[in-house]
Structures are given as C-alpha cells and as structure tokens.
Structure 1
Amino acid sequence: MSDGGGDGDGDGQGQRRLLIIEDDAMFARTLARSFERRGYRVAAIAGPAELEAAVAALRPDHAVVDLRLGNASGLTCVERLHAIDPAMRIVVLTGFASIATAVEAVKLGATNYLSKPANSDDIEAAFEASGTGDASVELDAAPTSLRTLEWEHIHQTLADCGFNVSEAARRLGMHRRTLARKLGKRHL
C-alpha cells in the first residue's frame, strides 16, 4: 500500500483522505502522486483483499475504484466502502463503461462514474459534482445501436457472474471463445 503524506497536521484531520483501488500499479502511482500534490492523503491498493486494512489505516472520505480489478469486480468494493461510510465520495472508473454497470455502481453507493481515460482533474470534478444532476443535459435523439445493446447485455451478464467469462458465456448461450473474442474487441 502506498501511503503519501500531505502538508500536514500529523493525523490527517481536516485533510482529504483518498483511497485508490486500482490493479494497474503504474496508473495507481500516477494518480496517487497527482492527488498528493493537490493536498490529499492517499493510499493505493490493488484489490478487495486489502480493503479492510486500508480503510482502517486511512479512514478515507474519498475513493476511486476501478470497475475491473483482475478477476474481481470493483462493485464489491463500492458496496463495502458505502457500508462503512455512506457519506464517502466514491468515483468508479472503467475502461468498458455500460449503462448497466453505471446504474449498479450508483445503486451500491458510488457518487459518480467515469469512463477511462480519466485524469485527476476529471476525478476531482466528479467528486465535487456528486449528488447534483443537470436537467438541461441534451437528450440524444439517436436510438441505441444494436452493437451497444449487445455490449450492455454482455457486460451486465459478466457483472452478474462476477466477471467469470466461462459462466457468462454459458448464461449468454455462446461458446467461451466467442465471448472472449467479443471482449477482446472491446479492449478489456
């Protein structure tokens, strides 16, 4: 776990505390350094197994959670973090966004959801914007494409299976290799 100090008051009181849950070590380090420069006290972990110890040590009030953590789902981390502190601002990052996972993330306690690539400016803006909506956002007049609907159905099934590709393929009624090919085209 990386733990960076801030310009500090020792115990971190009054300082924003950020937990980064990201299995890409280089991206996690880069993000941690960027938030440390912004005055956050930061800890980074690679997955759910380290969550309880990190929360106990840091007592975060902000979290950035990657949706896919190796074979694990970041949604389990969102749910656990929200149970620990319902006021925590949690931003979910993903390289394969779908409506289904965005809805589930928010239901489980995420305050915002961003598609990768996202930088620290995007994430901090998402922390600040959480809890607010924009009723004037323009509605897309184009219907959702068949390809997008297929991807969302595949992704929802994957999420329901805990990202187990074999089980998702079985539930979708397709061969595992066919599903793996489709997932490969979406750059999972």
Structure 2
Amino acid sequence: MLIAFNKPYGVLCQFTDTDGRRTLAEFIRQKDVYAAGRLDHDSEGLLLLTDDGRLSHRVTDPRHKQAKTYLAQVEGEIDEAALRALRRGVVLNDGPTLPADAAFATEPEWLWPRDPPVRYRKSIPTSWLSLTLSEGRNRQVRRMTAAVGFPTLRLIRVRIGGYALDGLAPGESRIVPM
C-alpha cells in the first residue's frame, strides 16, 4: 500500500510524540504504514507512507536518486546568480551538494494559506523558486537557499519521483497505485 499525504505545517512525520505535538496519527488511520522519508515539522506538502519496506527504501535511499521537487518562498528577491549557484551545487557545512534544478517560480494559485502565516515584513520582499534535488540531507533546501543569501520562509514539497500532490489539501491523503 502507498499513501500520498499532504502534511500540514507543524505536524511531525511520526505517529507518536511524548511532547504533545501534532503527529501523523491525527490524519492517517491506516495501520502499519510508515513515512517513506521525512519532512521537517516546519515544512509542508507531499509525504509518502507505505507498508512496503522495499518501496520505502527506493524512495529514501540516496543511491536511487529519487528526485524531490519543492516550492520555496524565500526572503528577498531571488536572482539569477543565486539560481546558477544552486544549479552548480553549493557548499554546506557537511560538504558540497549535488547540482539542483532551480528556477524562478510564482506563488501557485492553488496554494493554501499557512497557519500560522509566514511573517510579513513591509520593507523586505519575498519571492518563490522551484528546486528539485536528487539527494536528501537534513534541512537541505533551507540550508541551500540560506547559503546563496535567500533564507527560506515557507517550504512545500510538491513531488517525489512520479508522485505529486495533485490537488490534495493539507491533511488529506489518498491511496495511490504502486
């Protein structure tokens, strides 16, 4: 079984939490499924859950280079120089990243409001970019955008390999064909 889930902001990618934070158990009723990969507490979007260990491995193991696409709202007006740097790969404290597919983006019309909203600062504009990675380090997109001078304010994963959000609202899930 494979479940596509639109993880809301502020939800942990686990089913239990001793600190009382929101978890997948609030949304996923199917038993014996586990997240294939992770999305940080402060990130949103596509999360795959499965009861198939081999499928989970194919999705998460870096050797399979499963492309993951994100939309990021960043502080400042992202420029071509920053996108070029992301396309070449940037050096992070744990070493250089692989090149990413980076492009200007606009805020999608289908995007839901975030709760709580992203902080608004009248004197500092924001912009959007699309970033596709084939590796999955901890908080990688956030660290990459910060490394090129544009800290991430909002991060939404929209695609993992051949699987996409495809209209799922935050907190919604659907079973998808494997």
TM-score calculated relative to the size of structure 2:
0.24
Answer 1 or 2: which has greater strand percent.
2
Larger Rg: 1
Q: If each structure's helix is expressed as a fraction of its own residues, which one has the higher value?
A: 1
Relative contact order (C-alpha < 8 Å, sep 6+): which is higher?
A: 2
Q: What TM-score does the superposition give when structure 1 sets the normalisation length?
A: 0.24
